[in-house]
Amino acid sequence: MQWQTDWGLRARMGVTMFLLAALYLVFIGVLTVYFESLLLVVIMMGLFSFAQLFFSDKLALRSMGAREVSEEEYPDLHRAVSRLSQQADLPKPTVAVADMDVPNAFATGRSQKNATVAVTSGIMETLTQEELEGVLAHELAHIKNRDVMVMTIASFLSTIAFIIVRWGWLFGGGGRDRRGGGVMVAVLISLVVWVVSFILIRTLSRYREFAADRGGALITGRPSALANALLKIDGRMDKIPERDMRDQAEMNAFFIIPIKSGFIGKIARTHPSTEKRIEKLQALEQELEQG
């Protein structure tokens, strides 16, 4: 079975970006009142947008302690990524490794030509080569679907709104004059913007995992390999120290299996359940066998 464009994913991306764009325009209007200067708001948002688009991949890798590795260091990993990239009709992404026990993987980057696939040492120790290739193909499917870039752009508005909510409460809450009142209005509207964008991003994120599972399984032709990998990774999560889980929970949206421990992991679940993902992969396995 060959790769097919997931129009359901495309439609959801389009709707999400449209709603976020409308939210974005409202947000600019609020910030203009907050800063009393449209030019300042445009410049500030432009700078944040530029930084988010061009540096988010480096920040993601740094937050995970991941570093780019050469073919000499990890020849098997590079060979697998090269072969799977060819099968997916993608440029070979940069390969990175994070030295940590948490068994996980993620993809980041602003485009198919500027992408990185990162894995942890824990996942390489946990999975067989076939299962690891299933995970790598899943991450390549994220890149091919361009949803890494979409999620990066979508999360930008949420990030800005959260910053204003956080610092606005600290520095604007005590204002008694007109300016102080304007600050609090901006903070409250920013809170609404953050909540709405949070919900939209989480809804899109869950669907994109199903799409990447299917895409990754089609790249390798072995849905069972990815299903086995998901089962192993999910089982290992409970054995990871609580502190390590909390440290990495902010990267949930990019992981192949989310970290469920802690407050963030419980309220901000970015993935469908592992059981549902495995059910769909098993159904795809039967479809491939019958086809």
Q: What is the biggest distance separating any 2 CA atoms in the chain, rounded to whole angstroms?
A: 71
Task: Kindly name the residue from 131, 133, 139, 209 that is annotated as catalytic.
Answer: 139
287 included as an active-site residue: no
Catalytic residue ranges: 139
